[in-house]
Structure 1
Amino acid sequence: MSIAGNLKIIHDRIAVAAHKARRDPASVRLVAVSKTQPAEAVTEAARAGQLLFGENYVQEFAAKAAEVKGAVEWHFIGSLQSNKVKYIAGLVALIHSVDRFSLAEEIDRQWGKLGKSCDVLIQVNIAGEATKSGTTSTGLIDLVRSVARLPHLRVRGLMTMPPFFDDPEGARPYFRELRRLAGEITAAAIPDVTMAELSMGMSGDFEAAIEEGATLVRIGTAVFGERQYR
């Protein structure tokens, strides 16, 4: 199956899941996770109409972004070290993985140098897994309040990565909890904070995520096939 064929299948599945949840399919955006894929694969996907891509590794992303031509939108979705923020400053439209205030400060500093603001999502480690990044559910609202005070950042929602389950239903409670947490933050009415985006769901469980309110689904393997390198 071609990348274009894969994209059609995914969009059809997104539409079915959205309709099941009585949502407009247009309220769900596909982030094609292009980590470990060559620039040619991104270009092929863009020709098929996919213009939003997610990257995990700073060095790989910087090289790839220089190669890919055209009006694509990049999101950074991976764990981000503060000392590497400068390499992506101004190049990404959204960072999904802000999990600590020191990282937010550095993003604020680097975007401030450009005279721009960066939209970010706060990553929440709902399951408390030691192998995954993210603030705790209990620490979330304090982190959001702190980040919201930075002049060059805009908090636009939340992101989570649930534990892996063979059955996507296993991930559903984590998606539901992220939506609940977003509701708590909305109710707190923190200035300049919106919960417009919920980034959750990947190739194996995105339909359950959509049914629980996802607005951004991060799908790689189902778009591009198996990883090409790294």
Structure 2
Amino acid sequence: MLDRQQFEQQLAQVEARVTSACTRSGRSREEVQVMAVTKYVSLETTRLVLEQGHAHIGESRWQDASQKWEQLHQLGTWHFIGHLQSNKVKDVLGRFDYIHSLDRLSLAKAIHKKATQDQQRVKCFLQVNVSGEASKHGMEPEQLISMAESVREMPSIEIVGLMTMAPYTEHPEETRPVFRALRQLRDELNQRSILPNPVQHLSMGMSNDFDIAVEEGATFIRLGSVLVGKDEGGETNGSHE
């Protein structure tokens, strides 16, 4: 299990890499938020991360996150980053500050209905499957504009960004076209002025490829193994966070 010294060392290494990527691409370090993906680690490890002042926490399933959230939610900002089923919306709304995985109209309708009932406004990222991998969730890039036009009519949803997952590769440079394409999609969406407010954020980049994502404009990077590790016996699903 992660201890304080290990976390401080790993965070320092991540910070150095993010700062270098920002310098190479002419960006300010303040533009990039580092999210600790804690879905494979224990309550104790998640507590350590939050108590060390790391604010952003990413979880993929409510049933795995519930105990952590119930004990620690006041210490940080919580991001739901996993595939969200419409019948699980009731578990996520009101608990997570951001939903990164809005990828279809039926889910948008479920979120809007529940949020309207609860008098909430939910900050969401539209998830786009830029790489076209069958194993990845997300809408096709060609569907983004029509999806945005539909969500525009749902005032309980605020679209704050776009999200994608790049293919896992031993050569991270190969992910650059995926991240660049998501940034271009965001820029196109903003040029069309479809949504009431400009879309600012790009949620992209994981442990294997976050340097490239930062160079291409990421504002949230989702880091698991490189930042918080994985506790023994943790679930595995081929993720590279």
Instruction: Mark yes or no: TM-score above 0.5.
Output: yes
Counterpart residue identity of residue 152, structure 1: S
* 3-state SS of 2:142 partner: coil
Cα distance in 2, alignment partners of residues 64 and 169 from structure 1 = 35
Counterpart residue identity of residue 78, structure 1: G
Cα distance in 1, alignment partners of residues 184 and 231 from structure 2 = 34
* 3-state SS of 2:227 partner: helix
Cα distance in 2, alignment partners of residues 49 and 89 from structure 1 = 24
**Does 2:61 correspond to 1:46?**
no
Gaps of 5+ in 1: none
Counterpart residue identity of residue 140, structure 1: L
Query: 2:186 matched to which residue of 1?
Result: 182
Cα distance in 1, alignment partners of residues 195 and 94 from structure 2 = 24
* Equivalenced residues, count: 230
Query: 2:168 matched to which residue of 1?
Result: 164
Q: 1:11 aligns with which of 7, 10, 15?
A: 15
Cα distance in 1, alignment partners of residues 133 and 192 from structure 2 = 27
Q: 1:211: how far off?
A: 0.4
User: Identity over the aligned pairs, expressed in percent?
Assistant: 36
Counterpart residue identity of residue 24, structure 2: K
Q: 1:87 aligns with which of 81, 84, 91?
A: 91
Q: 1:111 aligns with which of 92, 108, 115?
A: 115
Gaps of 5+ in 2: 236-241
Check 1:160–1:45 CA distance in 2 against 1; reply closer, same or farther (3 A cut): same
Cα distance in 2, alignment partners of residues 221 and 134 from structure 1 = 23
Deviations 1:136-191 (A, max 9, x none): 01111101111121121001110000111111101000000001111110011013
Name the TM-score, length of structure 2 as normaliser.
0.92
Cα distance in 2, alignment partners of residues 47 and 19 from structure 1 = 29
Cα distance in 2, alignment partners of residues 75 and 23 from structure 1 = 24
Name the TM-score, length of structure 1 as normaliser.
0.96
Q: How does 1:1-230 map to 2 (within 5 A)?
A: 2-68=6-72, 70-228=74-232, 229-230=234-235
